[in-house]
Amino acid sequence: MSYRLPRRSDRYTRCAAAAEVDAVADGEPVKAQDATRSALAEVTVLERLRGGDERAFESLIDQHSPAMLRLALVYVPNLAVAEEVVQETWLAVVRGVDSFQARSSLRTWIFRILVNRAKSSGMAEPRNLPLSDEAEGDKAERSVVDTARFSGLPRGYWSSPPNHWDELPEDRLLARETMAFIEGAIETLPRVQQAVFRLRDIEHWTSAEVCEALGLTVANQRVLLHRARARMRTAIEEYFDAR
Amino acid sequence: MRVDKVLRGMLMKALALAGLNPWLTCRECVDLVTEFLEGALSPRDRALVLAHLERCPHCPRYIRQIELMIRLVGATATDSDALSPVNRAALLDDFRRHGPRDPDDET
């Protein structure tokens, strides 16, 4: 299969350079519109579910199961357990949908059930993932790029600046090999970072939704995202550096 | 790269060497990138980041790379979306039986 870059107009990629930065503000109303539209769609889905509409349930399963499986894999030791967690989550959704109070969105509610189940299933056989920075959102230390790269004179300025991998042609960036590397790199992120990163930058959830689904504070969520993004950028830089 | 930008970059470093730089260092700028992209900075910090980006030859590239990384990661997602991790028949069956319409006959 071939890979395509999501369009630059994507709301997460708008401020490409300092000169364009102020254009970011122009995008806000669009975001708000999107949110309203999806909130309306959600109310409809919820009503149909409560009315026993199988089609609505099926399309909800199709829509969310792949992302749920990937998120479950962050917490549990293998695919079989992850699949079980996804299945159990849907059963819990069926039983809970009537008492679900639309204080959070439907999908954050579903994913919160998923994460709680995945966490308790994962507890039995912890997966071999770096756990050391599980609570890293609380740490005071913030620098995410190797400090050695700012060690020249004057201090604090790039002595080893980012290399130019962003100028590589698209077919290099999107090569099957690169994509495989990136997928592997995501899997090596510490779990909470990985969960945040997947929901924010792959599923394009808002930070409020991620906080809700994963039970994080806004500040905590942002630090985790910050670290995950920095790690991913560095990983890609090193990958292209090595060839 | 434009000449005036190079000159401003040199001025920034020269001032920094003399301990006088009123702007952010690269390291500080990099540490604020996510808050900057999220629009979560105070107006003052945002202005500081923008002032740094206008002068720095490297940090704008760092931000571009963060954004490009996100787009690349987005491109990987299409790959495994064909996964069907659920036993759909069992779920639908369950939905029919425990369907929420009839909370009364849940005996």
* Three-class SS of B66-96: HHHHHHHHHHHHHHHCCCCCCCHHHHHHHHH
Question: Which token pair is A194?
Answer: 């990985």
Q: Are residues A114 and A195 in the same domain?
A: no
Asked whether the beta carbons of B36 and B49 are under 8 A apart, the reply is yes
Q: Which domain holds residue A188?
A: 136-241
Chain B residue with CA closest to A167: the answer is B65
Residue A22 reports pLDDT greater than 50 = no
Phi, psi of A223 (to 5 degrees): -65, -40
- pLDDT score recorded for residue B99: 62
Question: Could you tell me if A147 and A60 lie in one domain?
Answer: no
- Does A147 lie in the same domain as A236? yes
**Do A99 and A148 lie in a common domain?**
no
Q: Where are the alpha helices (DSSP H) in A20-131?
A: 28-50, 54-75, 79-96, 106-124
Note whether A108 and A156 are same-domain residues: no
Report the residue count for chain B. 107
Domain annotation covers residue A220: yes
A16 lies in a domain?
no
**Yes or no, beta carbons of A50 and B70 under 8 Å apart:** no
Contact residues for A37 (Cβ-Cβ < 8 A; gap 6+): none
CATH number at residue A212: 1.10.10.10
Tell me, what's the pLDDT at A190?
Answer: 93
Q: Which residue would you say has higher pLDDT here, B48 or A155?
A: B48
| Average pLDDT of the segment spanning A32-61 | 83
Rounded average pLDDT over B8-34? 84
* CB-CB under 8 Å, B74 with A54: no
Is the pLDDT score of A235 beyond 90? yes
Q: Rounded distance, CA B47 to CA B23, Å? A: 10
Domain boundary among A103, A124, A145: A124
Shortest alpha-carbon distance between residue B30 and chain A (Å) = 8
* Same-domain check for residues A96 and A170: no
Give tens-digit pLDDT for A168-197: 999 999 999 999 999 999 999 999 999 999
> Six-digit token pair at A104?
């959070």
Q: Which parts of A103-217 fold into alpha helices (H)?
A: 106-124, 170-173, 176-187, 191-197, 207-214
Task: Give domain status of residue A12, yes or no.
Answer: no
* Closest CA of chain B from A29, distance in Å: 14
Whether the per-residue pLDDT at B66 is higher than 50: the answer is: yes
Answer yes or no: is A24 within a domain. Answer: no
Which of A124, A154, A171 delimits the end of a domain?
A124
Min Cα distance B7 → chain A (Å) is: 16
A54 contacts B92 by C-beta, under 8 angstroms: yes
Does residue B93 sit at the A interface (CB-CB below 8 Å)?
no
- In this complex, do B75 and A68 lie within 8 Å of one another by their Cβ atoms? no
**Domain endpoint, select from A100, A124, A148:** A124
- Indicate the number of domains in chain A: 2
Q: How far is B53 from B1, CA to CA, in rounded Å?
A: 13
Of residues A2 and A239, the one with the higher pLDDT is: A239
Residues A80 and A140 in one domain: no
Chain A residues whose CB is inside 8 A of the B95 CB are 52, 54, 57, 94
Q: In this structure, what CATH number is given to the domain that contains residue A72?
A: 1.10.1740.10
User: With an 8 Å Cβ cutoff, is B63 touching chain A?
Assistant: yes
**Which of A19-28, A122-131, A168-177, B73-82 has the least mean pLDDT?**
A19-28
CB nearest to A222's CB, from B28, B38, B81: B38
Q: Is residue A17 part of a domain?
A: no
CA distances from residue B40 to A16, A165, A237 in whole angstroms, order as listed: 17, 28, 27
Identify whether A130 is part of a domain: no
Q: With pLDDT > 70 as the criterion, what percentage of chain B qualifies?
A: 82
Chain B residues inside the 8 Å CB shell of A97: 100
Identify the helix (H) or strand (E) that includes residue B37.
Answer: helix B33-37
For residues A61 and A139, the model is more confident at: A61
Residue A77: count other Cβ atoms within 10 Å of its Cβ. Answer: 16
Do A148 and A222 belong together in one domain? yes
Sequence-ordered list of residues with C-beta below 8 angstroms from that of A136, at least 6 positions apart, any chain: A190, A192, A193, A223, A224, A227
Does residue A105 form part of some domain? yes
- The answer to the question of residue A14 being in a domain is no
Q: Are residues A174 and A198 in the same domain?
A: yes
The answer to whether B42 contacts chain A (CB < 8 Å) is: no
Q: Which amino acid is at B19?
A: G
